[in-house]
Structure 1
Amino acid sequence: MVGSAPGTERADALCVTCVGLFDVDGAAVSLVLGGASSGTFGSSSESSRRMDEYQFTFGEGPCLDAVTSGTSVLAPDLDAPQEQRWPVLRGALLEDGIRGVFAVPIMITSVCVGALDLFRSRPGPLDGVALAGALLAAELASMPLLDLMNEARDLADREDAPVCSTDHLEDPPVEADRVEVYQATGMLISALGVDADEALVRLRAHAMATDQTASQVARSIIDRRLMLDRDDRGTTGDGGRSRR
């Protein structure tokens, strides 16, 4: 992390290192603000980023529970009969070959702002050493998040800073990872005559019905390859039914 550039590169480096040290197959740093997933800040791979994004798409998952409780959430075997948490997310992760998922809260001062998510393709608990390491890694994850917050604060202090564009930033503000979803939601509000909450529900429902992430559906709407209507039942204008 010391040898990496501040921000996303540092967060990605931490996630890659977690995979090498803790005998897991993927890792991601998930931001959770106001009780909702606000983006994937760092990841060990694109597949890990996609798996973390499912939690935003489905509105459930260990990272959200870890932030709410302020404690680690461990699911060593998603396919176990007694595992009944996150039914929609669990099905998506199992389909992607993930059997275990672990989330450790990330604290900045006394505020929980996200979680370090670890994914494993086989069932089994994190052993004592790996769990202790994950707790330390979650502490280190606060460093790149502070980088981002400091950059966003500096940007806000600039009188000439653009209000909407984030292209000038190496690491965009916290919620920029969801800008496409918000843009698509706005288009649905106008097209369907619904409020913001219903528009987002419809977008997420379409994502689940067509086996996509919310961001994939949003991009299709923004590109005008897809527009939902009041009678939408999960068909997609670009023919996409794959997460991959």
Structure 2
Amino acid sequence: MASSLSDIRAELIAAMSNNTPGLAATDELCATCVGLAGVDGAALSVVYRGASRGTFGSSSEASRRLDEYQFTFGEGPCLDAVATREAVLVPNLDSPRERRWPLLRGALLDDGVRGVFALPVMVTSVCVGALDLFRSAPGPLEGDDLAVALLAAELATAPLLDLIADAVGVGAHGEDLFESVASGPEHAAELDRVEVHQATGMLIAALDVDATEALVRLRAHAITTGQTASQVARAIVERRLMLETDGRAGARDGSP
């Protein structure tokens, strides 16, 4: 390794320190990690109770979209990394032996991704998300590159703690430390996908269903039409789309 891990740690910390705490700092952490770890993209997924809650930072819009697929399909390395609290390293998504995440895998391959890696991010004793890394060429993440990625995942707790501190103040602990951020709509803008929360509320009122059913229908429409959940939600919020009550017609376009 040309630079020591202490030097790399200092570079990653400096990248965050030079930006506004929160989302901007995490974006810069992801961008810096890309350059140091030999990957093509990075994003920080926030996960709560087994579901992706938002993309809290990314190296690019392309990386943000790749992370969005995991929310849309409800499967992916970030969810597995959080569930197991272990790194999920997939050097070649196109391998015939790779059978995980069939929906996500197809979408990532269509977008030119061949390698995907997820490293758990811990806040105190709670695993709150994962740092997702993407490569356009197959190949393992190992040695110095893996060491850099693990360091970036460790440092990703800092901007998340900034957000948590703003949300719950001092004194919270365990799952209470994270719940109000991950599940509270008032923090949706920080975690991205605020339009999904807005669209879900509109579907609850229009279809007379609960929040879980509204989100299921939104994501199902995204999958069947080849879009991300945020794209469908944006169309609903802008009143260009509304799902039908019977679920058979799928959707109607145009203003109500």
The TM-score, its normalising length taken from structure 2, stands at 0.82
Q: 1:135 aligns with which of 139, 150, 161?
A: 150
- CA apart distance, 1:33: 1.2
Q: Deviations over 1:118-168 (max 9, x none)?
A: 0000111012111111111100000111111112235xxxxxxxxx996xx
**Number of residue-to-residue matches in the alignment:** 225
- CA apart distance, 1:237: 2.5
How many angstroms apart in 1 are the aligned matches of 2:79 and 2:86? 11
CA contact (8 A) 1:38 1:174 kept: no
CA contact (8 A) 2:33 2:149 kept: yes
Instruction: Say if 2:72 is the partner of 1:44.
Output: no
Structure 1 unpaired stretches of 5+ = 155-163, 167-171, 239-244
Q: 1:102 aligns with which of 101, 117, 126?
A: 117
Percent identical pairs in the alignment equals 67
2:76 aligned residue: 61
1:218 aligned residue: 233
How many angstroms apart in 1 are the aligned matches of 2:106 and 2:112? 10
- CA apart distance, 1:174: 7.5
Taking structure 1 as reference, are residues 192 and 173 closer, same or farther at Cα in structure 2, changes over 3 Å only? Answer: closer
SS at match of 1:177: coil
Q: CA RMSD in A?
A: 2.1
Structure 2 unpaired stretches of 5+ = 1-15, 170-183
2:163 aligned residue: 148
Q: Hey, which of these two has a bigger chunk of helix by percent?
A: 2
The TM-score, its normalising length taken from structure 1, stands at 0.86
Greater mean deviation of Cα atoms: 10-19 or 188-197: 188-197
2:215 aligned residue: 200
How many angstroms apart in 1 are the aligned matches of 2:72 and 2:185? 24
Taking structure 1 as reference, are residues 105 and 233 closer, same or farther at Cα in structure 2, changes over 3 Å only? Answer: farther
1:161 aligned residue: none
How many angstroms apart in 1 are the aligned matches of 2:252 and 2:130? 32
Q: Deviations over 1:21-56 (max 9, x none)?
A: 111110001111121111001100001011101111
Give the 4+ runs in structure 1 shifted more than 6 A: none
2:181 aligned residue: none
